[in-house]
């Protein structure tokens, strides 16, 4: 097992243990469930009451899951850089388009400049202005 870094949009870098097999990165099934919420079952990859059939015989190797093939099975973007020791999994574009098209403001939690974190929904029933800016 090798120590890698796992990245997603809503958390900071998280250290994980993985097996590197050439360009392939394999995570144990429990880690995949912990990181993504998806579990490999006989009927496929499952989350809550949704199961996606898996037809890829190479997805799992000796109980470990190939991250890149996992992403393909769920149609999610992934960046696997085994040589740099980094794995990143993203959300499907359809997942991100849905709230924008429906007009419902997605909730989020981000760090505050003054310390701590802030959850958008904590503002409650008020009009809100979200201003995105940058020094660049």
Contact footprint for another protein (CB under 8 A): 5, 7, 9-10, 13, 77-79, 81, 83-84, 86, 88-93, 96-97, 99-101, 103-108, 110-114, 118, 121, 125-136
Q: How far is the CB of 95 from another protein (least distance, A)?
A: 9
Residue with Cβ nearer another protein (53 or 133):
133
Using DSSP, state whether 47 is helix, strand or coil.
strand
Distance CA 37, CA 26 (A): 17
CB of 45 to another protein, least distance (A): 19
Q: What is the C-alpha separation between 24 and 66, in angstroms, rounded?
A: 7
C-alpha dihedral over 21, 24, 28, 30, to 10 degrees? 170
How far apart are CB 57 and another protein at their closest, in Å? 25
**Phi, psi (rounded to 5 degrees) for 115:** 110, 155
Kindly report the backbone phi and psi dihedral angles of residue 119, in degrees, each rounded to the nearest multiple of 5, phi listed first: -105, 125
What is the closest distance, in whole angstroms, from the C-beta atom of residue 135 to another protein in the complex? Answer: 5
Nearer of residues 56 and 91 to another protein, judged by Cβ: 91
Closer residue to another protein (CB): 23 or 63? 23
Nearer to another protein, 41 or 96 (CB): 96
C-alpha 136, offset from chain centre: 28
């Amino acid at each position: 097992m090798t120590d890698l870094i796992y990245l997603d949009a809503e958390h900071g870098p998280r250290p994980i243990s993985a097996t590197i097999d050439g360009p392939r990165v394999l995570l144990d099934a429990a880690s995949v469930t912990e990181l993504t919420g998806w579990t490999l079952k006989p009927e496929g990859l499952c989350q809550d009451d949704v199961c996606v059939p898996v037809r890829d015989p190479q997805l799992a190797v000796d109980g470990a899951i190939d991250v890149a093939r996992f992403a393909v099975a769920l149609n999610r973007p992934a960046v696997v850089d085994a040589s740099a020791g980094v794995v990143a999994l993203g959300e499907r574009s359809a997942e991100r388009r849905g709230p924008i098209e429906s007009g419902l403001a997605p909730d989020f939690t981000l760090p505050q400049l003054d310390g701590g974190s802030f959850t958008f929904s904590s503002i409650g029933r008020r009009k809100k202005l979200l201003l995105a800016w940058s020094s660049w």
